[in-house]
Amino acid sequence: MRRTRQRGGDAELIVRSCREPVLFEPVFEHHFAAVYRYLRRRVGDASAEELAAETFLQAFANRERYRPHSSQSALPWLFGIATNLMLEQIRRQERQKRAYDRASQAELPAEDDEAGDRLIAGEEARRIAAVICVLPETQRETLLLHAWADLTSEEIGEALAIPAATARSRLSRARAAVAAALLEDVATTDAVEEEK
Amino acid sequence: MNENELDGRIVAARPSVPEGDRTEDAAHSRAESLLRAEIARAGERLSPRLARRRRLVLRGALAFAVTAAAVLIGLDLGLSDNGSKGGPGPAAASTLKQFANLVAGAPVRPLQAGQYYYVRTVSGSGLSALKTSNGGYSNAAAEEIWIGSDGSGRVLAPGGVDERYSPEKPIPLLRFQGVALDYEGLLALPGEPKALLRWLERQTRGDGPEAQDMQLGMIAELLGRAPAPPKLRAALYRLIDGFSGLKAEGRVRDPLGRSGIGFKRHMGGCKLQPEATCDWEIILDQKTGGLLASRRFLSNGGPNWEATAESGVVDSLLARP
């Protein structure tokens, strides 16, 4: 199911962009769509626009700290920045919500609910979304970077600054949780069918 | 169900988003123009001609600074140290103590009936705020808060959300789950660092490894958003002074471009990012001792920050200083 994507050459461009900043532009052109689409799936149009722009601004500001990994692609690094920005935004929104909604009764939309609502590709998709929403944060980010952003375990490791083995084990735990939930649903459906 | 089949089903659950539609084009254009502006600025900074000119200017400025340093009183600017385990580095400690003394000496002026403490904060991500042509920010949002002595108040939040508070439902001074601190509670907070730390620890009990990050966040909010009396403000600086591994950074620019004195502390873990390390920073105003901004730097991402843009006492929920 993995899609092909133009990669490579980023490391050299980023290193050279420290002296010639304009060389960062191709990095933006190569990767903007992937980062934006991932964020769009996670947080919706308005936030995705803001977060995607900020991801590239931060990447540019921190380009001297970029350390190329085996893939030589900047994409895992960019997804790492995007993920952090997204989590920080959610954290800010949740703090604000917790502090104020007691008095105002106003409900800010939670990221998980929105993500769940956007998953409208059928009943199974909804079931999978429900499981993903209740996964621990670290497992959820790992699974979604794999399933929605096509990153390998090594790349997820780069993105989240964790060893690839940790990414693999989180992925495995997340998969197990999803599989268990799907099997449970099948069992329930079978039982209902039998009763009929 | 094998791994590939399961992965296929998870991928199939991915929400479909249109590719290359108008929304994406608009997002691309906006991001591109912001990035190009940054690239142009960076290019200017790197231009050899400009760099030479800057070096000459700096040489002149350095001569001036050496002279000025001799007459600077009050705060020790011989900063920048490596910190140490078990307490801040000597320069950080002495400077923070001086900040504590500076704010402790400020006149005590509790809010009177009908008065409101007004504060405008700007929070965002990235190293600094990027202004747009319409006076807003592309990477930050401003919030205005009015705090009355009886618990009444108002919050004008981003997106035009206008919340009103009354003595019956007082305005919360800290935005942390389960921490209900109103103006009366603020005045009752201990003015002694150890007691203050115990209070913070009580608020963050059960937060595990995230507790310290939460405590530092609360300290920043007390300093940056709340009408903390001078004694409390001084106690907060003395409390920070006691934290291990605090480093003085010397003169730094806050996200709004203002010059201040920075202090940074490295933390092994931070909220929502158990694998990342995190640096927490506060930037203080050398003249008033007030908090200009606080920033958090994640090891695997960029910084996020909150700056206190403006504050003062006003006579109504509609007035600004």
Is residue B196 domain-shared with residue B232, that is, in the same domain? Answer: yes
pLDDT for A13 beyond 70: yes
Is residue B137 domain-shared with residue B200, that is, in the same domain? Answer: yes
Q: Which domains does chain A have, with CATH numbers?
A: 7-110 (1.10.1740), 119-196 (1.10.10.10)
Residue B67 — pLDDT band, cuts 50, 70, 90? Answer: very low
Q: State residue B307's pLDDT score.
A: 94
Is residue B163 domain-shared with residue B36, that is, in the same domain? Answer: no
Residue B312 — pLDDT band, cuts 50, 70, 90? Answer: very high
Report how many Cβ contacts below 8 Å link chain A to chain B. Answer: 196
Query: Does residue B88 sit in helix, strand or coil?
Result: coil
Is residue B229 domain-shared with residue B120, that is, in the same domain? Answer: yes
Task: Enter the DSSP assignment of B296.
Answer: E
Q: State residue B92's pLDDT score.
A: 64
Q: How does pLDDT run across B256-298, given as a tens digit for each residue? A: 999 999 998 887 656 555 566 678 899 999 888 999 999 988 7
Element holding B69 (H helix, E strand):
helix B48-71
Which of A180-194, B131-145, B154-168 shows the highest mean pLDDT?
B154-168
pLDDT for B148 beyond 90: yes
Is residue B50 domain-shared with residue B103, that is, in the same domain? Answer: no
pLDDT for B175 beyond 70: yes
pLDDT for B235 beyond 90: yes
Min Cα separation B93/chain A (Å) = 30
Question: Which residues in chain B are closer than 8 Å to A56, comparing Cβ atoms?
Answer: 31, 34-35
Question: Which residues in chain B are closer than 8 Å to A40, comparing Cβ atoms?
Answer: 17, 23-24
ipTM above 0.95, yes or no: no
The verdict on residue B104 lying in a domain is yes
The average pLDDT across B189-209 equals: 86
Sequence-distant contacts of B188-194: CB under 8 A, at least 24 apart: B189/B228, B189/B232, B190/B235, B191/B229, B191/B231, B191/B232, B191/B234, B191/B235, B192/B235, B193/B235, B193/B236, B193/B238, B193/B239, B193/B241, B193/B242
The verdict on residue B40 lying in a domain is yes
Q: State residue B244's pLDDT score.
A: 77
CATH number at residue B242: 2.50.20
The verdict on residue B79 lying in a domain is no
Percent of chain B with pLDDT over 70: 78
Question: Which residues in chain B are closer than 8 Å to A99, comparing Cβ atoms?
Answer: 172, 174-177
Is residue B125 domain-shared with residue B30, that is, in the same domain? Answer: no
Mean pLDDT of chain A: 78
| Closest CB to A80 among B177, B274, B301 | B301
User: Any bridge partners for residue B73, and if so which?
Assistant: none
* Helix residue ranges, H only, B89-244: 90-104, 183-187, 193-203, 211-224, 230-241
pLDDT for B69 beyond 90: no
Report the chain B residue with the minimal C-alpha distance to residue A104. Answer: B163
Q: Is B165–A103 a contact, with Cβ atoms under 8 angstroms apart?
A: yes
User: Any bridge partners for residue B148, and if so which?
Assistant: B116
- What range defines the domain where residue B141 resides? 90-314
Is residue B55 domain-shared with residue B96, that is, in the same domain? Answer: no
Among all chains, which residue has been given the structure tokens 């019956």? B168
Distance CA B91, CA B76 (A): 8
pLDDT for B300 beyond 80: no
The verdict on residue B13 lying in a domain is no
Instruction: Say what the pTM is.
Output: 0.50
User: Any bridge partners for residue B302, and if so which?
Assistant: none
The verdict on residue B9 lying in a domain is no
The verdict on residue B186 lying in a domain is yes
Is residue B257 domain-shared with residue B128, that is, in the same domain? Answer: yes
- Among A104-108, A185-189, B15-19, B240-244, the range scoring the smallest mean pLDDT is A104-108
| Closest CB to B271 among A22, A91, A102 | A91
Distance CA B176, CA B217 (A): 9
Q: State residue B47's pLDDT score.
A: 64
The verdict on residue B41 lying in a domain is yes
Residue B29 — pLDDT band, cuts 50, 70, 90? Answer: confident
Is residue B227 domain-shared with residue B304, that is, in the same domain? Answer: yes
Domain count, chain B: 2
Residue B115 — pLDDT band, cuts 50, 70, 90? Answer: very high
B100 vs B157, higher pLDDT: B100
Is residue B189 domain-shared with residue B99, that is, in the same domain? Answer: yes
Is residue B296 domain-shared with residue B200, that is, in the same domain? Answer: yes
Hey, is the C-beta of A184 within 8 angstroms of any chain B C-beta? no
Q: State residue B34's pLDDT score.
A: 84
Hey, is the C-beta of A114 within 8 angstroms of any chain B C-beta? no
Hey, is the C-beta of A5 within 8 angstroms of any chain B C-beta? no
